[in-house]
Amino acid sequence: MMSVDRKLAITARIAKEIRRDHRSLALIIGAPIIVMSLIGFSFQDQKPVLNQAAPALIATMAMFFVFVLTGISFLRERSQGTLERLLSTAVSRSDLLVGYLAGFLLFALIQSIIILMYTLFVVDVEYSGKIWDIILILLMVTITSVSMGIFVSTFAKNEFQVVQFIPLLLAPQIFLSGVILPTSQLPGYFQGISRVLPLTYANRALRDIMLRGASLSDVSLEIGVLALFAVVMLTAASITVRKT
Amino acid sequence: MTAPEITTTLNAAVSISGVEFAYGNRPVLKGIDLEIPRGVAFGVLGANGAGKTTLVRLLIGRLKASAGSALIFGEEPGPALADSVGYMPQLNALYEALTVRENLDFFARMLSLANKDLRANAVARAMNVVGLSDRADSVMSELSGGMRQRVSLGAALVHEPELLLLDEPTVGLDPELRATFWQHFKDMTEAGTTILISSHTMDDAAHCDTLGFMRDGVFIATGTPDELRQSTGKPDSTLEDAFLHLSRASA
């Protein structure tokens, strides 16, 4: 009971902090819209290309923004000493992980859904499939990305270092997960790497749903692999969450 | 022979024996022995880098000694003791976007005060103790440095712990506020709370019931302020004279 209360308290605190930081809140909502606008409207005369690229772009943007949001927020917790203070209380590893995950997930999901809705209804990308199926895939990308942000913040001492993880962790996923070139056209050794990247499976699932109208059961393999990535990243985050 | 030692350890608030700790290859604590009885203010005095913060982090369970044992109320430091121990870190370590009340309420919840009414009372009492009841709804970013220190102290004592571990709590405080802090500490020890306070200023040292002078990871002397002053063998010696004298003697 007390443990549930601690988890709720951590989630509520994170929500309160982000809600009160008006500039960050505006950027959480505004930045993805600006980026998707730039991409969307630069392709407005080549709609078929945009329609093909949109599923991968949505997943990539969701992963990118969520990773930055979580990585930097959690790093701040470590560098300001609040994590150390928290760890001197009765708080447990699961209180921390569930509390932070729920708190960040709330805003990360809002961000992911804004990216999706803006791409579908303002940039006007054509899609088939059910919107809830698309949201479920984005939820799994978001959970993986939140856990990755918590995990990576362990290895950074400041915001500058967290940002350096973006080219290290996200750029290979953008190049090798089929966002730019289909994975089948990559050299053999890169195809091997692409098979261990979560974005590859998110892109594949979203393409099947959005372009070919696939159902969730049609993409069950991709969902299974994404769930595995989420579990692996959550485990990694839980191992390192107490490190200050 | 063993029985009296066990009794002493159980009666002590803090009992440290032969504790060693190193950050990688750099030894920081090199064999610490210390026994702090309940209800006293014990000052750990030493220069920057002497090992004071490491000792405090060891006592909150954030670090594990590589040798020896550190016990609080006869038990290993860790989450199981969190409700009996209050910790004020060197950094204020509070949430800038939250108000004074919200910060204290949050840490009270982390310290297992789940009942809303009990928690509200505990928070109100803590704000009263640190004299910030009139700033309850001010966000941290609106407060001065001294006020933040007071909130930080409030967060450490909101659950009325039996032992307070305060890491340089008076750094940056003006003399008036420093005196106020020491009045709080005196009231608390009189009520039975044990306080371990790390500091590098002799102003703080003079207020403690007992002191440990720390240098290069060991205690070079422990005793009451008067006992330590007398160690120089000169009348009218200050604690600073005593520290320098003992420090040179141990070098």
C-alpha to C-alpha distance for B209 and B16, rounded to whole angstroms:
18
Give the chain A residue whose CA is nearest to the CA of B96.
Answer: A17
For chain A, the domains span 2-240
pLDDT, tens digit (0-9, with 9 covering 90-100), for B181-216:
899 899 999 999 999 999 988 888 889 999 999 999
Question: Residue B171 has what pLDDT?
Answer: 82
* Residue B14, pLDDT above cutoff 60: yes
CB-based contact B157:B86 (threshold 8 Å): yes
CATH number of B76-161: 3.40.50.300
* Amino acid, res. A162: V
**Statement: residue B10 has pLDDT above 60:** no
**Predicted pLDDT at A1:** 62
Report whether B93 contacts A84 (CB < 8 A). Answer: yes
> Does domain B37-64+163-251 sit in CATH 3.40.50.10680?
no
**How many other CB atoms sit within 10 Å of the CB of residue A81?**
17
Structure tokens at A120: 């579908």
- Decide: A114 and A25 in contact? Cβ < 8 Å: no
* A82 to B93: CB separation less than 8 angstroms, yes or no: yes
With beta carbons under 8 A apart, name residues in chain B contacting A15. none
Alpha-carbon distance of B186 to B180, in angstroms, equals 10
pTM over 0.80: yes
Q: What would the mean pLDDT of B15-22 be, rounded to a whole number?
A: 95
The chain-wide mean pLDDT, for chain A, equals 87
Confidence band for B17, pLDDT divided at 50, 70 and 90 = very high
CB contact under 8 A, B110 and A86: yes
Residue of chain A nearest B165, judged by CA positions: A88
* CA distance linking residue B169 with residue B166, whole number of Å: 6
Q: Is the ipTM of this complex over 0.95?
A: no
Selected residues 91-130 of chain B with any CB under 8 Å from a CB in chain A = 91-95, 97-98, 102, 106-107, 109-112, 114
Looking at residue B2, what is its pLDDT?
37
Same fold, B37-64+163-251 and B76-161: yes
pLDDT value for A244: 65
Beta strands in A23-143 (DSSP E): none
Q: Which residues pair with B36 in a beta bridge?
A: B14
Mutation for testing the A interface, residue in B109, B123, B138 having most A CBs under 10 Å: B109
User: Where along chain B do its domains lie?
Assistant: 37-64+163-251, 76-161
> How many angstroms separate the CA atoms of B135 and A154, rounded?
35
